[in-house]
Structure 1
Amino acid sequence: MKNHDFHKKLLSLVLPIAFQQFMLSLVGASDAIMLGMISQEALSAVSLAGQMMFVFNLFLTAFAMGTSMLAAQYWGKGDSESVAKILAFVLRTSLAVSLIFCFGTLLFPRQVMRFFTSEQSLIDGGITYLQVSAVSYLMCGISQIYLCIMKNTGHAAKSTLISSTAVVLNLGLNAILIFGLYGAPAMGIAGAALATVIARGIEMVWAVLDSRKPGRIRWNMHYFIRPDKVLLRTYWKYSLPILGNQLAWGCGFTMYSVVMGHMGSDAVAANSIANIVKNLMVCFCIGIGNGGSILVGHELGAGRLKQAREAGRNLCRLAVISGIITGLLLLAVSPLILRFAALSSQAEEYLKWMFIVCSYYLVGKSINTTTIGGIFSAGGDTRFGLICDTVTLWCVTVPLGFIAAFILKWPVLAVYFVLNLDEIVKLPVVYKHYKKYSWVKNLTQKDESQKKDSSKPIVCSKNAAIS
Structure 2
Amino acid sequence: MRIQDKIITDREFYQKVMRIFIPVILQSCINQGVNMMDTIMVGSLGDVAISASSLANQFYSFFNCLCMGVSGAGLILTSQCWGASRKSAVLRIFDLLLQLTVMFGILFAVVSAAVPDKIMSLYCDDADVIREGTIYLRITSLVYIPHGISMVMANVMRSVGNARLGLYTSIFSFFVNIAGNYVLIFGKLGFPAMGLAGAAVGTLCARVAELIVCAVFVLKIDKILLYRPAGIFKLPGKNLVHEFFRLGIPVIIGDFLLALSANAVSMILGHMGKEFVSSYAIVQVIERMCTIASGGAASAAGIMTGHAIGAKQYEKAQSAGFTFLLVGCGIGLVGSLLILVLGEWSISLYAVGEKTVEIASSMMIANSIIVIFQIIQSVMGKGVLRGGGDSKFVMITDVVFQWCASIPLGYLVGIYFHMSPFIVLLAVRLDYIIKAIIYMFRLRSGKWIKETNIAREPS
* TM tier relative to shorter chain: over 0.9
Query: Partner of 1:292 in structure 2?
Result: 301
Query: Partner of 2:3 in structure 1?
Result: none
What secondary structure sits across from 1:298 in the alignment? Answer: helix
Q: Deviations over 1:247-271 (max 9, x none)?
A: 2222112111100011111111111
Q: Deviations over 1:310-333 (max 9, x none)?
A: 111110000001100111011111
Tell me, in whole angstroms, the C-alpha distance in 2 between the residues paired with 1:426 and 1:76.
Answer: 28
Tell me, in whole angstroms, the C-alpha distance in 2 between the residues paired with 1:374 and 1:231.
Answer: 22
Query: Partner of 2:150 in structure 1?
Result: 143
AA in 2 matched with 1:210: F
Q: Deviations over 1:160-183 (max 9, x none)?
A: 112332123212211111111222
AA in 1 matched with 2:457: E
Q: Quote the offset at 1:371 in angstroms.
A: 0.8
Contact kept in structure 1, 2:40 and 2:349, CA below 8 Å: no
Pick aligned residue for 1:38 from 38, 45, 55? 45
AA in 2 matched with 1:437: G
Query: Partner of 2:395 in structure 1?
Result: 386
Q: Quote the offset at 1:114 in angstroms.
A: 0.2
Contact kept in structure 2, 1:379 and 1:443, CA below 8 Å: no
Question: Is the counterpart of residue 25 in structure 1 residue 46 in structure 2?
Answer: no
Question: Is the counterpart of residue 260 in structure 1 residue 269 in structure 2?
Answer: yes
Question: Is the counterpart of residue 8 in structure 1 residue 15 in structure 2?
Answer: yes
AA in 2 matched with 1:151: R
Tell me, in whole angstroms, the C-alpha distance in 1 between the residues paired with 2:65 and 2:299.
Answer: 15
TM-score by length of 1: 0.93
Query: Partner of 1:238 in structure 2?
Result: 247
Query: Partner of 2:290 in structure 1?
Result: 281
Which structure 1 residue ranges, 4+ long, deviate > 6 Å from structure 2? none
Q: Deviations over 1:107-158 (max 9, x none)?
A: 0000000000000111011001000111100111111111111111232113
Q: Quote the offset at 1:445 in angstroms.
A: 6.5
Contact kept in structure 1, 2:336 and 2:371, CA below 8 Å: yes
What secondary structure sits across from 1:435 in the alignment? Answer: helix
Query: Partner of 1:51 in structure 2?
Result: 58
Contact kept in structure 2, 1:330 and 1:359, CA below 8 Å: yes
Query: Partner of 2:117 in structure 1?
Result: 110
Which stretch of the first structure deviates more once superposed, 103-112 or 22-31? 22-31
Q: Quote the offset at 1:2 in angstroms.
A: 4.4
Pick aligned residue for 1:87 from 69, 82, 94? 94
Go from structure 1 to structure 2 and tell me whether the alpha carbon gap of 1:308 and 1:95 turns closer, same or farther (over 3 Å shift): same
Q: Deviations over 1:331-359 (max 9, x none)?
A: 11123213322221111011111111111
Query: Partner of 1:302 in structure 2?
Result: 311
Contact kept in structure 2, 1:378 and 1:439, CA below 8 Å: no
Unaligned 5+ runs, structure 2: 1-7
Go from structure 1 to structure 2 and tell me whether the alpha carbon gap of 1:203 and 1:446 turns closer, same or farther (over 3 Å shift): closer
Contact kept in structure 2, 1:357 and 1:420, CA below 8 Å: no
Tell me, in whole angstroms, the C-alpha distance in 2 between the residues paired with 1:278 and 1:303.
Answer: 37
What secondary structure sits across from 1:116 in the alignment? Answer: coil
TM-score by length of 2: 0.94
Contact kept in structure 2, 1:109 and 1:130, CA below 8 Å: yes
What secondary structure sits across from 2:219 in the alignment? Answer: coil
Query: Partner of 1:174 in structure 2?
Result: 181
Q: Deviations over 1:71-97 (max 9, x none)?
A: 111122222111110010111011111
What secondary structure sits across from 1:394 in the alignment? Answer: helix
Contact kept in structure 2, 1:73 and 1:444, CA below 8 Å: no
Query: Partner of 1:196 in structure 2?
Result: 203
Question: Is the counterpart of residue 319 in structure 1 residue 328 in structure 2?
Answer: yes
Q: How many correspondences in the alignment?
A: 450
Tell me, in whole angstroms, the C-alpha distance in 1 between the residues paired with 2:455 and 2:199.
Answer: 47
Q: Quote the offset at 1:432 in angstroms.
A: 1.5
Contact kept in structure 2, 1:177 and 1:184, CA below 8 Å: yes
Unaligned 5+ runs, structure 1: 453-467
Pick aligned residue for 2:74 from 63, 67, 79? 67
Pick aligned residue for 2:217 from 207, 210, 214? 210
Tell me, in whole angstroms, the C-alpha distance in 1 between the residues paired with 2:304 and 2:263.
Answer: 31
The sequence identity of aligned pairs, in percent, is 25
Question: Is the counterpart of residue 336 in structure 1 residue 364 in structure 2?
Answer: no
Q: Deviations over 1:213-243 (max 9, x none)?
A: 2514414424642212212211111010111
Go from structure 1 to structure 2 and tell me whether the alpha carbon gap of 1:241 and 1:143 turns closer, same or farther (over 3 Å shift): same
Pick aligned residue for 2:412 from 394, 403, 418? 403
Go from structure 1 to structure 2 and tell me whether the alpha carbon gap of 1:227 and 1:341 turns closer, same or farther (over 3 Å shift): same
Which stretch of the first structure deviates more once superposed, 48-57 or 429-438? 429-438
Q: Quote the offset at 1:244 in angstroms.
A: 1.3
